[in-house]
């Protein structure tokens, strides 16, 4: 929302002004389906969203209504429709993202044996899709030791899950959970001294960011988190980050030190920037008077080398509908993120984009 306010205050994005509509969907399928219908009825030409399960339910409707969707998310099989694709997400798939980490762990294993990796995830579409990576353990070159599942919301004790999984002596545990369930997992891992047993812990993208560290405190130290964007601490490297943080201060009164702040703000800004660029390309091709959701979709699917300044340049197509598919490993040290790797690809053989 702040990106579109900022663009309008600057005279528009390349002269194009926006009417940014908003609905509270709460990540719930019925509410987000209602929001989609309202957006369509009000003439929206692109939709932005965040939660996997509603995206699964809405993928056929996005195509039917010719209303493209951009998301800070990763694909599951149920989001895949026959071409033309109308859902454009930043990551390739939940399974590919986990497999990308697994391949990285294998490539960086100091011992000659394959790394032993287990998973804990919450009972959600993103979690079950993540599990698919484990089926490709042999091809990736790792030993998959097993999985545990915790509640989507309301996980108050995950001791049994941690003890069962760590009893299989993994080198790494990959955790796909968010919000309150992840808080419990992190607190319990500390209480059970999981890291002191030699187990390294890594969380899926967009999880243990600044405001989350403010909640769990020192319990986050030593954890790794996969991330596909630059972070606020890299402001000096990117004028785009500086611009986004300036708008955040103007519209919300936040700084990167505010307890409410998370670098997920930059992910939302980045998604809005890609959407605006899609609109610009569509206007350039068909003219403002002929602007439709289909025209924006076609523009997104033909975007080439767009540099947002927040992640590596974006090139998309119907076969490659990903606007930020590169990953990095961040380690949390004394409550701060340290970038520990260069960008690496999601594990491409597991990408599920294909006609059904």
Q: Same domain for 100 and 196? A: yes
Q: At residue 280, does pLDDT exceed 90? A: yes
- Average model confidence (pLDDT) for the chain? 93
Q: Which two tokens stand for residue 353?
A: 């984009």
Q: At residue 128, does pLDDT exceed 50? A: yes
* pLDDT tens digit sequence for 232-259: 989 888 999 999 999 999 999 999 999 8
- Confidence category of residue 158, pLDDT binned at 50, 70, 90: very high
Q: Same domain for 78 and 214? A: no
Q: Same domain for 48 and 141? A: no
Q: At residue 218, does pLDDT exceed 70? A: yes
Task: Flag whether 314 is in a domain.
Answer: no
Q: Same domain for 242 and 190? A: no
Looking at residue 353, what is its pLDDT?
Answer: 52
Looking at residue 107, what is its pLDDT?
Answer: 92
Bridge partner list, 227 = 328
Q: Same domain for 83 and 196? A: no
Task: Flag whether 159 is in a domain.
Answer: yes
Q: Same domain for 202 and 332? A: yes
Across residues 250-272, what is the average pLDDT? Answer: 93
Looking at residue 249, what is its pLDDT?
Answer: 97
Looking at residue 287, what is its pLDDT?
Answer: 96
Task: Flag whether 317 is in a domain.
Answer: no
Q: Same domain for 86 and 34? A: yes
Q: Same domain for 213 and 334? A: yes
- Confidence category of residue 74, pLDDT binned at 50, 70, 90: confident
Across residues 170-187, what is the average pLDDT? Answer: 96
Across residues 143-157, what is the average pLDDT? Answer: 94
Q: At residue 21, does pLDDT exceed 60? A: yes
Cβ proximity of 223 and 98 under 8 Å: no
Across residues 106-132, what is the average pLDDT? Answer: 93
Across residues 114-136, what is the average pLDDT? Answer: 93
Q: Which domain holds residue 128?
A: 95-228+326-350
Looking at residue 80, what is its pLDDT?
Answer: 83
Q: Same domain for 105 and 87? A: no
- Confidence category of residue 34, pLDDT binned at 50, 70, 90: very high
Stretch among 190-194, 294-298, 308-312 having the lowest mean pLDDT: 308-312
Stretch among 24-28, 116-120, 312-316, 338-342 having the lowest mean pLDDT: 24-28
Number of domains in the chain: 2
Q: Same domain for 197 and 135? A: yes
Q: At residue 124, does pLDDT exceed 90? A: no
- Confidence category of residue 157, pLDDT binned at 50, 70, 90: very high
Q: At residue 356, does pLDDT exceed 50? A: no
Across residues 96-104, what is the average pLDDT? Answer: 92
Q: At residue 354, does pLDDT exceed 80? A: no
The CATH number of the domain holding residue 273 is 3.40.50.2300
d(CA 58, CA 36): 8
Q: Same domain for 118 and 43? A: no
Q: Same domain for 192 and 340? A: yes
Across residues 133-153, what is the average pLDDT? Answer: 94
- Confidence category of residue 83, pLDDT binned at 50, 70, 90: confident
Looking at residue 355, what is its pLDDT?
Answer: 40
Looking at residue 352, what is its pLDDT?
Answer: 53
């Amino acid at each position: 929302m702040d990106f579109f306010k900022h663009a309008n205050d600057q005279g528009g994005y390349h002269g194009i002004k926006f009417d940014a509509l908003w609905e509270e969907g709460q990540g719930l399928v019925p509410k987000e389906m209602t929001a989609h219908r309202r957006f369509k009825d009000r003439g929206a030409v692109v939709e932005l969203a965040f939660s996997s399960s509603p995206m699964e339910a809405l993928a056929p409707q996005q195509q039917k209504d010719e209303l493209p969707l951009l998301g800070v998310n990763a694909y599951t099989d149920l989001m895949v429709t026959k071409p033309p694709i109308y859902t454009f997400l930043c990551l390739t798939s939940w399974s590919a993202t986990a497999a990308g980490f697994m391949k990285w762990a294998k490539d960086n294993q100091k011992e000659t044996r394959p790394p032993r990796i287990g998973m804990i995830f919450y009972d959600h579409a993103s979690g079950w899709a993540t599990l698919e990576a484990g089926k490709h353990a042999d091809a990736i070159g790792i030993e998959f030791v097993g999985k545990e599942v915790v509640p989507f919301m309301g996980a108050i004790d995950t001791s049994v899950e941690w003890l069962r999984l760590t009893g299989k002596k993994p080198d790494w545990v990959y955790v796909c959970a968010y919000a309150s369930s992840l808080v419990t997992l992190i607190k319990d891992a500390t209480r059970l001294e999981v890291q002191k047993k030699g187990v390294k812990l890594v969380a899926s993208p967009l999880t243990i960011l600044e405001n989350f560290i403010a909640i769990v405190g020192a319990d986050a130290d030593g954890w790794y988190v996969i991330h596909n964007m630059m972070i606020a601490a890299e402001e000096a490297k990117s004028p785009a980050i500086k611009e986004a943080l300036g708008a955040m201060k103007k519209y919300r009164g936040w700084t990167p030190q505010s307890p409410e702040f998370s670098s997920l703000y930059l992910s939302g800004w980045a998604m809005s920037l890609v959407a605006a660029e899609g609109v610009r390309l569509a206007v350039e091709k068909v003219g403002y008077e002929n602007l439709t959701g289909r025209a924006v979709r076609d523009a997104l699917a033909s975007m080439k080398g767009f540099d947002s300044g927040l992640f590596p340049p974006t090139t998309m197509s119907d076969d490659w509908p990903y606007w930020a598919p590169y990953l990095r490993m961040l380690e949390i040290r004394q409550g701060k993120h340290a970038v520990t790797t260069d960008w690496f690809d999601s594990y491409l053989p597991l990408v599920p984009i294909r006609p059904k």
